[in-house]
Amino acid sequence: MTDYGHPLTFGLALDPDADRIGETRRLAKRADDAGLDLLAVQDHAYQAGHLDTWTLITRLSAETERISFLTDVLDLQLRPPTMLAKAAASLGVLAGGRLVLGLGGGTFTDAIAGMGGKRRSRPEMIAYTEESLHVMRAALAGGGVRLLSEQHAIEGYAAGPVPPAPIPLWLGAQKSRMLAVTGRAGDGWISPLNIYVAPDEVPAKQKIIDEAAREAGRDPARIRRAYNVIGAIGPFRGGRGLVGDAGVWTETLTEWAVELGFDTFVFWPVTNHQAQSEVFAAEVVPGVREQVGKIRGQAVSSP
């Protein structure tokens, strides 16, 4: 059993397709009203039909009241860390801190280069990402930021404003070296979709994160763990991922929380997003909270 004990949070993935903006805005508002914790937006700026993630969440933050936003995940190679920290701090101020920054090193080298980004090797990308996390953490805290390295030439940035609450930096990672960066420098791990990182692959990845954290003098239990879960709730044929009724979803997410160590679940519906998100919020979320609460209570009370 691997349960790091964090409060559970639940989110809904939104489609950044420009042609679906009306539906996306309605989904965001209803998710806010339904009590979900997060709205997650992917970042593939090189997709011609996609809206810019940062612009989209800024608009949606003005149309919602309490729900937070998760960038799932921003491509750091197309968004320099000092400028991204400035944007995040600004949105933190404007939206009352309703932001979790999910960040990724960027794996689509040709697409990044096609937009004018630097063509980096994988080792260079990993070094760039780890340094960027440190740069952003310092910038979000305010004060001066300076870093001259093979990957960065930041000659002196007077950072600010300081957001009203700390903005967590979660790292999207799948392979061992980036998972180790998560352990050393991230506030959280964002796993790819459950069809790309299957549940039986998760323990080995959690182990890499935990060992890297300990080697860096960090407590692994302080690192949040998020799972992007694609699938359908109810009788649905032909879908990938987790498919079953609300009971199946409740039991499965409960197991993934207490056995695999995830504390955050982002739902990616494969059909009828509105109806699926409503069932998720009304039935699955409270069911998982209740079951995990009982299991944790039993674990605490056990001799």
pLDDT digits (tens, 9 = 90+) for 137-162: 999 999 899 999 999 999 999 999 99
Q: Report the 10 Å Cβ neighbour count for 253.
A: 26
CB 57 within 8 A of CB 38: no
| Nearest to 38, CA basis, from 243, 275, 244, 285 | 285
Q: Is 68 or 117 the better-scoring residue by pLDDT?
A: 68
Res. 197 pLDDT band, cuts 50 70 90:
very high
Q: Tokens 């699938």 identify what position? A: 231
Mean pLDDT of the chain: 95
pLDDT tens readout for residues 6-36: 999 999 999 999 999 999 999 999 999 999 9
Residue 212 has pLDDT above 70, yes or no: yes
- Strands (E) in 93-187, as ranges, are 99-104, 143-148, 153-159, 169-172
Task: Measure the CA–CA gap between 34 and 64, rounded to whole angstroms.
Answer: 12
| Nearest to 247, CA basis, from 279, 277, 273, 202 | 279
Structure tokens at 69: 């936003």
Task: Measure the CA–CA gap between 183 and 162, rounded to whole angstroms.
Answer: 25
Task: Measure the CA–CA gap between 15 and 233, rounded to whole angstroms.
Answer: 18
How large is the average pLDDT for residues 55-67?
97
Residues 6+ apart with CB under 8 A from 93: 161, 163, 164
Residue 1 has pLDDT above 90, yes or no: no
Write down how long the chain is: 303
Task: Measure the CA–CA gap between 191 and 224, rounded to whole angstroms.
Answer: 11
CATH of domain 9-301: 3.20.20.30
Range name among 25-34, 110-119, 145-154, 191-200 with the lowest pLDDT average: 110-119
Chain centroid to CA 82: 20
CA–CA–CA angle 43, 238, 172 (5° rounding) = 25
Strand, helix or coil for residue 171: strand
